Amino acid sequence: MRVINQARGNKDGLGSSKKIVLALTAALTLISCSKGEQQAAPQGGGQAMPVTVLTLEPTSVPVSVESVAQTEGAREVEIRPRVGGILLKRLYEEGSSVKEGQVLFQIDPVPYQIALAQAKAQQAQSQAKIAQTQREADRLKGLLESKSISQREYDNATSDNDVAKAALLQADASVREAELNLSYTKVTAPVSGVSGRFQYSEGTLVAANDSLLTTVVQLSPIWVRFSLSDNELEKVGGRLSEKNVKKITLSLPDGKEYNETGKLNFAASQIDPTLGTQQLRATFTNADKQLVPGQFVRAKVTVGEQDGVFLVPQVAVQNSQQGRFVYVVNEQNQASVRPVVTGNWSGSNWVILKGLNAGEKVVVDNLIKIRPGAPLQPHAPAEQGANPQGAQPQGETGKPESNASGKPA
């Protein structure tokens, strides 16, 4: 019985092995057929890949160049006392806006009030002296006519009157100087702007024209300083001046465009030999006070327009060792590589200077999966609701790649 059971077990084991071999053979056959079909598919034409294309039309773009710039107040004034004395009061809030002529500080006026009173007393004395010498000269004139005195005595009298008049002029000047010094005890803002921090404390003795009390920065208008290199200047036709610059726009630190345009109000007459750049300055009205001094922005200088160029989304322009290129759909609806020469950016598009012709169709999506000569099924952006201007290269987000219909490719 043991021998029979063992024989039956061996027989069953051999049967199972045969079944396994047959299953593996069938699987290998299916795999080979599948590979053969895959290899034969391209030779038979295969399924064309749906792609979004953009039909090219020539357009005009501004000829411009951008540079990092920094804002500064059109007038940045240091507030210093014009007379010395004890600083009694600060009459403004630090960091607040002040108007031209507004009183910012009060210096002790008493010493200057006394000096003014002394000058006026000297002025009155000079006026009295003139009256005395004038009466003496008039009296001696009558005596001279009657030949009661000599000509010399009359000449001395008239000379004394002239000296008294000169002394009065000096006294008048002293009075004006004393009045001016007294007015300087009220330190005012020479321009409208934003006040700075108070550098002293009340009760401090300040010196005339020496002690820096605070600063006032004018915000409207405001200046923007920047510079351009030789290569950047070459893109816009050479050295810039107020005549060939059409407009200047700014991009704020958050990327938004400033709502005002500026004008060039300074252009260096020569290239800086140290930096190799031309120093430039623009002025902006800054009515809303959005720009503040010291802020970093981007200045875009426009000098004119360039006609006959094409705008292609940035994602459609590829890079290789030979340079930039795009995929163009040829007459057989196949992908064709086209080298291009690019200019600057215009919004989210590349400006194509050379390499493309009007009416050609540029592929703007599924670029990772395209190969030269591959069959394509082109469609316009409107057919699938695509947005090639803002499209992203597919296959770079880690998600399954999909075609324009939303199905996995």
Beta strands in 208-295 (DSSP E): 214-217, 222-229, 247-251, 263-267, 277-284
Same domain, 202 and 261: no
Instruction: Report the CATH number that the domain containing residue 137 is assigned in CATH.
Output: 1.10.287.470
Establish how many alpha carbons lie within 13 A of residue 315's alpha carbon, considering only the half-sphere containing its beta carbon. 19
- Within 8 A by CB and 6+ apart from 5, the residues are none
Share of the chain above pLDDT 90, in %: 52
- pLDDT value, residue 72: 94
Same domain, 130 and 253: no
Q: What is the number of domains present in the chain?
A: 4
Residue 36 lies in a domain: no
The mean per-residue pLDDT over the stretch 273-289 comes to 92
The mean per-residue pLDDT over the stretch 172-189 comes to 96
Instruction: Report the CATH number that the domain containing residue 292 is assigned in CATH.
Output: 2.40.30.170
pLDDT-derived band at 200 (thresholds 50, 70, 90) equals very high
Phi, psi values for residue 203, rounded to 5°: 100, -5
Same domain, 201 and 99: yes
Of 305, 329, 346, the position where a domain reaches its end is 305
The mean per-residue pLDDT over the stretch 338-342 comes to 91
Same domain, 95 and 126: no
Mean of pLDDT over the chain:
83
Same domain, 212 and 89: yes
Same domain, 260 and 285: yes
Same domain, 201 and 325: no
Domain residues for the domain of 384 are 49-60+307-390
Residue 139 lies in a domain: yes
pLDDT-derived band at 60 (thresholds 50, 70, 90) equals confident
Give the pair of three-digit tokens for residue 316: 């459609």
Residue 287 lies in a domain: yes
Residue 398 lies in a domain: no
Same domain, 208 and 91: yes
Instruction: Report the CATH number that the domain containing residue 213 is assigned in CATH.
Output: 2.40.50.100
Instruction: Report the CATH number that the domain containing residue 334 is assigned in CATH.
Output: 2.40.420.20
- pLDDT value, residue 46: 58
Same domain, 139 and 256: no
Of residues 286 and 366, more confidence is placed in 286
Same domain, 225 and 301: yes
Establish how many alpha carbons lie within 13 A of residue 96's alpha carbon, considering only the half-sphere containing its beta carbon. 10
404 has a pLDDT exceeding 70: no
401 has a pLDDT exceeding 70: no
Structure confidence by residue, pLDDT tens digits, 306-337: 888 899 998 999 998 889 999 999 988 898 99
Residue 29 lies in a domain: no
- Rounded Cα–Cα distance for residues 299 and 223 (Å): 12
- pLDDT value, residue 388: 43
Residue 383 lies in a domain: yes
Cα angle 235, 239, 241 (rounded to 5 degrees) comes to 120
Helix, strand, coil shares of the chain, percent, nearest 5, are 30, 35, 35
Of 286, 305, 324, the position where a domain reaches its end is 305
Residue 5 lies in a domain: no
Structure confidence by residue, pLDDT tens digits, 71-120: 999 999 999 999 999 999 999 999 999 999 999 999 999 999 999 999 99
Same domain, 268 and 315: no
Residue 400 lies in a domain: no
Same domain, 129 and 251: no
Give the pair of three-digit tokens for residue 230: 């030789």
Of 305, 329, 352, the position where a domain reaches its end is 305
